[in-house]
Amino acid sequence: MQQQRWRRNNLRPRDRFVRELTIDLKGHLLTVEQNAESASALWDASVALASHLLSLPPDTFNDKTIVEIGAGCGLPGIALAKYRETAGVVLSELSEELQLVQANVKLNELTSKVDIVDYYWGTDVTSWIKTKPDYILAADVVYEIQHFDVLVQAFVDLCTVSNSTDDPARRTTIIMAMEHRWKDVEAEFWTRMENAGFVASVVSRETLDPIYVPDAVDLYYIRKSHEVTTSV
């Protein structure tokens, strides 16, 4: 029997809006609380990103540091903390959403393996980041153009430069899942990212599992190729 494709809108209303939701990513069970009345519901891009991360070779994230920005329910970061041998996972969110993140870390018994920080994009990161992370995770963060300046600044602050000679073993890679909604808004985001020195590549759909990755969602690998002297 073919497995049904996971789509939030395919769930029955009583399941879609349930407070606590369990998802099976090919044998990787994860439970998350969601707040269906806010942005912190379990959206398709978050499931797509978590699915992709767990489909990579298991040693991909060995001894790597991970930061998820705009974590929401925190599914991608929680998936790595639970099923991969990382060097540490940080879930960051606005203060008003931290209670949900904390609940999900506790639900998955990861309190000792995950750090949770109150972070507004574009603000100082030095109090909670001692070394730039190996990977940044971002799901469904590109949707409101008025936040693009601080979002791009967050990426600038958290990323190493890929051609830097400093500590060549550590190169920050952003892995981002984006649900396509408005072409003009997305174009503006990519223009600002390019102006800030970032280069992106889209993940081939042939490598993605259609059960968890809908046609409306793409995944990107992004690196900072060079420094830009002016702020974004």
Q: Is 181 exposed, middle or buried (0-12, 13-18, 19+ CB in 10 A)?
A: exposed
- Going along the chain from its start, the domains and CATH numbers come out as 8-224 (3.40.50.150)
Task: Output the pLDDT for position 39.
Answer: 64
Crossing angle of helices 75-83 and 98-107, rounded to 10°: 30
Residue 18, pLDDT score: 64
pTM: 0.90
Q: Which of 48, 131, 116 is nearest to 81 (CA)?
A: 116
The residues that bridge with 178 in the sheet, in sequence order, are 218
Tokens 């789509």 correspond to what residue? 7
DSSP assigned state of 59: G
Residues in the chain with pLDDT values less than 70:
1-18, 36-39, 162-169, 227-232
User: Could you tell me the sign of the dihedral formed by the alpha carbons of 187, 72, 21, 78, in that order?
Assistant: positive
| E-state strands within the chain | 20-25, 28-33, 65-68, 88-93, 114-118, 135-139, 173-179, 198-202, 217-224
Q: Which of 181, 185, 195 is nearest to 228 (CA)?
A: 195
Contacts of 160 (CB under 8 A, 6+ apart): 132, 166, 167, 170, 171, 172, 224
The confidence score (pLDDT) of residue 2 equals: 47
